[in-house]
A and B are shown apart, each in its own frame.
Chain A
Amino acid sequence: MKTNRQSILRLIFTSFLLNALLFLCFEAQAQFWKKQTDTLLPDNEAFIESASVNKNSLTVIWDIADDYYMYRDQFRVVPITPGLTVGSASYPEGVVENDPEFGEVMVYFNRIQYTVPITRFPNSGDVLEFELKGQGCNKPVGVCYAPQTRLVSTSYTKPADSELAVSTQTDSVPNINTTTLNNSSKLEKSFWGYVITAFGAGILLSFTPCVLPMIPILAGIIAGQKNPTKLQSGWLAICYVIGTVVTYACAGWVAGASGVQLQAHFQSPWVIGVICTFLIILAISLFGAFKIQLPSHIQTKLGNASVNSRSASFSSFGLGLISALVVGACVSPILILTLGAAISKGDPVLGAAIMSAMALGMGSLLILFGFGAGWLLPRTGAWMNHIQVLFGFMVIGVAIYIASALPTVPALYLWAALLLWAGSYLLRFAGELSVDLMASFLRGAGFAALLWGGMALVGATGGGTEILNPLSSLQLSSGSAGTQKTKLPFDVVTTEEQAKALLSKARNSGKPTLVDFYADWCLDCVRMDKTTFLEPSVHQALTDWALIKVDVTNTNENSEAVKRYFDVFGPPATLFFKADGTEHQNLRQYGYLKKADFLTLVNQASQ
């Protein structure tokens, strides 16, 4: 027992060590590439505008981050509301900077407050809209930001001659309540209604490829135990599921409290890097690297079962905690839909409850699997060691699957290496067996793995990426040059106005329109660009379509406005519009669409 406990402690220790190293390497290399952008703020954080109307004047405040400054000569107030006019501004004294071309210019650090007289109010209405313009720079780095234009709307009660009461609200803060008013029927559901729906959604999700990668992980954990009883392996599965529940609950809490879109974080290379690290550690331990150390004790280790199972429970819990992040990447479009209610209510408790219910739903299959594994796994002997190694290969496979979401990971090479390795292992394993039937089965499996690995290697050298179709790249290049895959001719837009303009253009020319929400950080979006949207058959099907790609890579007022306009929570989202400009609401999709599914949708939309 001692060995096993030690090995688990070591597992935890090494994972910390590995992550520390990973962090160091990452940072050191990031330093090497010296991305100074990390130390600079985005413009909407460096310069924060606000405005209020007081009697007959508008007070404009720019809060400026430390080390940043703004130019006096670049400030402007442009009245937007019809009938509204303003006079010229009076500015306080600032700091004089020497400019190589323009001589001395006045700039402001930290904060600038100035007033503009309102010379005429509109005849009706109770909201004043202004555009505030300004331009600034970061002094120590020596960079300037493009001129900023911020729309602010100020509500005021119609002035008698006396005071104008005022509260302001800037447009850069997304106003979630108004965006979801049209969904108010959905909001009528009770707390428990949401929770039960989420649990059901979770159960449905457990049969998708999003949850299935968790099974080898869990199997690896269980197989890593010597002689687990049925109850023990079931318990490990429960610990694992509790781990996923905790992660989801936190994510739900954050979403409810802040409305932050979680997807971007779930799919970051960081999360993927950390989970792959943990999986590789798990695989190494399954290969026996942690246990060979004290071989004589392995025989006698059925000692302190409670200590062992406690540590195992913890590692199972921990792996659940982190693997939930990865699964989140896959189901997040549905997550975001489910969470829409919590986000719109701004209710962190509801958010946490919805997410935990969903995680429990997804976990029910895993728990069943855990108890089942207790029945099925062999008890003793050399078999167990081989089974562990095979699970180790599967866990590495999961790691490769996860890592292949990153566009630069040479996934097919890794698959080839894994398959060749696993294939030769299977052949050796078969050689040890005395039972002919089993040995020949394993030999067959081994040869199949070698063959597949070989094809993967060949495909990889040809630039292929897909393990399920390793030679696809070769078929392509052996065809005529005309089959060269090209991108779909999307019109890329970033603002609501641009999207509206293109939609109405399509309507005028009688074309149906495809609207694709995209972001660089959305791996599923990138994947769709690289697979589905390159398929000649997809090009064919979309010949007569107007194609709009809404790029929401940068989160700002424009991206929020355009998401609100289409009532889309975030990418990847695929929307189909009829030639008359109305949307096929029932065909709207969130998440990755493979060729067949996409073509079916296009066909339905074309009918």
Chain B
Amino acid sequence: MSNQNKILLAAVALAAFLIGAAINSARVTEISNASELLSAELLTGTGEEQTTRQNLGKFTLINFWASWCSPCRREMPLFQAVYEREKSNGFQIIGIAIDDVEKTQPLLDSMAISYPILYAEQTGMTLMELSGNELGAMPYSLLLDEKGNVIDQKLGEIHEAQLTAWSQGRVYEAEK
């Protein structure tokens, strides 16, 4: 292979990488924008208006769930346990229920959930879509830093190893 060809190939590979990166960053920044999610006025169980922004911790897991979603309910006791353990280190969990209080309160009581829950029925679906989950499927969780930037996201149930990584603000690498 002549020198020109080598240079050409290198240039080609570099261009491919950059274009791939550009396209992907276009996709990723598009899906990781949590601004709407942070500023939306949602209701607490007692009917107060709150935003997720005012509930942010050092690292915050935002979890979309609903009473009719069994994988969502399955992961919540784990969330509660890690929340108990890590909240003193600044780890926050916010559950966003796409549901109403009557259906969710008995479940929250029986699982002894103490992290904040905000309610957003149809708005919640829109917020979920705006923050990158186009299918509207659940559970869907986002990890945010203290400024509200998205660090990681996960559609589907979260397992303990991932949750531990998230509670320290780390992207969970094993699955990536």
A29 CA / B19 CA spacing, docked (Å): 11
Q: Which of B87-136 contact A (CB under 8 A)?
A: 98, 107, 110-111, 125, 129, 133-136
Q: In the assembled complex, how far is the CB of residue A6 from the closest CB belonging to chain B, in whole angstroms?
A: 11
* Contact A100 B70, CB 8 Å, known A29-B20, A37-B133, A40-B155: yes
B137 and A144: CB pair below 8 A? yes
B14 to A, closest residue via Cβ: A21
Q: Known contacts being A100-B70, A408-B29, A409-B22, is A143 close to B139, with CB within 8 Å?
A: yes
Contact check: which of B8, B15, B72 meets A144 at CB < 8 Å? B72
Knowing A37-B133, A143-B156, A144-B137, the reply to whether A406 touches B26 (Cβ < 8 A) is yes
Q: Which residues of A contact B7 (CB under 8 A)?
A: 289
Within 8 A of A (CB), among B7-37: 7-9, 11-13, 15-17, 19-31
Which of these, A31, A144, A277, A290, contacts B138 with CB under 8 Å? A144
> Is A189 interfacial (CB-CB < 8 Å)?
no
Q: Are A141 and B26 interface neighbours, CB within 8 A?
A: no
Residue numbers in A under 8 Å from B28 (CB-CB): 33
Give the distance in Å from the alpha carbon of A99 to the alpha carbon of B72 in the complex.
11
Q: List, in ascending order, chain A residues with CB within 8 A of B107's CB.
A: 101
Q: Is residue A174 within 8 Å, beta carbon to beta carbon, of the partner chain? A: no
In the complex, are the beta carbons of A292 and B4 less than 8 A apart? yes
B176 touches A146 (CB 8 A): no
**B20 in complex: contacting residue of A22, A281, A406, CB < 8 Å:** A22
Assembly CA distance A602 to B157 (angstroms): 50
B7, B135, B156, B157, most chain A CB atoms within 10 A = B135
- Chain B residues with CB below 8 A from A25, complex form: 16-17, 19-21
Given that A33-B28, A143-B138, A144-B138 are known contacts, is A99 also in contact with B70, CB under 8 Å in the complex? yes
Mask: chain A, 8-28; 1 = CB below 8 Å from B; 0 = not: 000000100110011011101
The answer, among A21, A135, A269, for a CB contact under 8 Å with B16, is A21
CB contacts under 8 Å to B, within A104-118, are: 105
Are the C-beta atoms of B155 and A36 separated by less than 8 Å? yes
Interface size on B, residues (CB 8 A): 53
At the interface, yes or no: B71 with Cβ under 8 Å from chain A?
yes
Q: Which residues of A contact B9 (CB under 8 A)?
A: 17
- Residue B69 CB within 8 A of the other chain: yes
Interface size on A, residues (CB 8 A): 59
Interface of chain B: mostly helix, strand, loop or mixed:
helix
Interface of A is mostly: mixed
Closest to B31 in A: A35
Q: Is B2 an interface residue (CB 8 A)?
A: yes
Most A-side CB within 10 Å, residue of B9, B16, B27, B125: B16
By beta carbon, the residue of chain B nearest A41 is B135
Instruction: Note all chain A residues with C-beta closer than 8 A to B175.
Output: 34
Q: Is A456 an interface residue (CB 8 A)?
A: no
Contacts of B2 in A (CB 8 A): 293
B163 at the interface (CB under 8 A from A): no
Establish whether residues B133 and A142, one from each chain, have CB atoms under 8 Å apart when the complex forms.
Answer: no
Cβ of A22 and Cβ of B135 under 8 Å apart? no
Kindly identify which residue among A26, A146, A270, A292 contacts B136, using a CB–CB cutoff of 8 Å.
Answer: A146
Chain A residues within 8 Å of B21, by CB: 25, 29
Of all chain B residues, which has the CB nearest A270?
B23
Closest to A277 in B: B19
Contact B4 A33, beta carbon cutoff 8 Å: no
Report B102 CB to chain A, min CB distance, Å.
Answer: 15
A277 and B136 within 8 A (CB): no
A87 to B17, CA, bound (A): 61
A17 to B9, CA, bound (A): 9
Chain A contacts for B69, CB-based, 8 A:
137, 143-144
Is A193 interfacial (CB 8 A cutoff)?
A: no
Are A146 and B11 in contact (CB-based, < 8 A)?
Answer: no
- Give every chain A residue within 8 A of B74 (Cβ-Cβ): 100, 142
Closest A-chain residue to B159, C-beta based? A142
Question: A118-153: contact bitstring with B at CB < 8 Å (1 yes, 0 no)?
Answer: 000000000000000001011001111111000000
**Which of A585-600 touch B at CB < 8 Å?**
none
Say yes or no for B66: interface residue by CB 8 A criterion.
yes
B78 to chain A, nearest CB (A): 11
The minimal Cβ–Cβ distance linking A98 to chain B, given in whole angstroms, is 9
CA distance A293 to B7 in the complex (A): 12
CA distance A22 to B19 in the complex (A): 7
By a beta-carbon cutoff of 8 Å, the part of chain B in contact with chain A is 2, 4-5, 7-9, 11-13, 15-17, 19-31, 66, 68-74, 98, 107, 110-111, 125, 129, 133-140, 154-157, 175-176
User: Hey, which bits of chain A sit against chain B, CB under 8 A?
Assistant: 14, 17-18, 21-22, 24-26, 28-37, 40-43, 71, 74, 97, 99-102, 105, 135, 137-138, 141-147, 269-270, 273, 276-277, 280-281, 284, 289-290, 292-293, 403, 406-409, 520, 554
- 13 A-B pairs within 8 Å (CB atoms) are namely A21-B13, A35-B27, A35-B31, A37-B155, A101-B70, A101-B107, A101-B111, A143-B140, A145-B136, A277-B16, A280-B15, A289-B4, A409-B26
Q: A18-B12, A101-B73 are in contact. List 18 more A-B contacts (CB 8 A).
A: A18-B15, A18-B16, A21-B13, A24-B20, A33-B28, A36-B156, A43-B137, A74-B68, A97-B70, A101-B110, A141-B156, A143-B140, A145-B137, A146-B137, A270-B23, A408-B22, A409-B22, A554-B134
